[in-house]
Structure 1
């Protein structure tokens, strides 16, 4: 017997991520490709704020091991305190880009992330890493 797996259109922060993706395409269509990542980050930040999103740029993410701080990262944009956006301006997304975003999610209480590439062809990857799967990378044991 063959089982058909239905795609769900109801997922965590769907309305917000849909709005973020719309803003991404607005910025991409206006600027095209070829700029540095910082240019897209600035334009995208402005567009998200214009649409009413609460945004923090270059938010520090600390990583702990057995209670000791062992490193930190900086998320490009955090939206509404619960969605991490990692921006790229490269030819194509690769596995390392996806792992970078997953590590951000592992190291925070945030569960949803979007990887957005402003390359020659726009690319989007949605990542989910639920808190029940996280090891203690956020604070002391």
Structure 2
């Protein structure tokens, strides 16, 4: 996926916009309906030398994040929350905006964002993915 990708046509107005980001690069995106802070509760692939310089574009990283205890439950709960926002009386007029953040924005945030995109697209929603920091250099910690 590119920095900005949709699951449908590029001209379709997305129902949901998911932004992955890294807290160490800048503040979370403003005006989000949900912001997932993945920093403290989920194992960071950055600590693995084999994964450190890869990103959520690499299957090895996505698999490591996907298999982290609690991630699948968080994705399921977030999908349910998006559906709840979409069921509100003004759902037809407003996109649901979800931000997924981790330390550097290269591993957990991007992987969870992709899991959410797949799950929401499977429900028939048009989803846009924005990777704010995925392209940035590894943060030296």
Structures share a fold, TM > 0.5? no
TM-score relative to the length of structure 2:
0.34
Q: Could you say which structure has the higher strand fraction? A: 1
TM-score relative to the length of structure 1:
0.34
Bigger Cα Rg: 1
More RCO (CA 8 Å, sep 6+) = 2
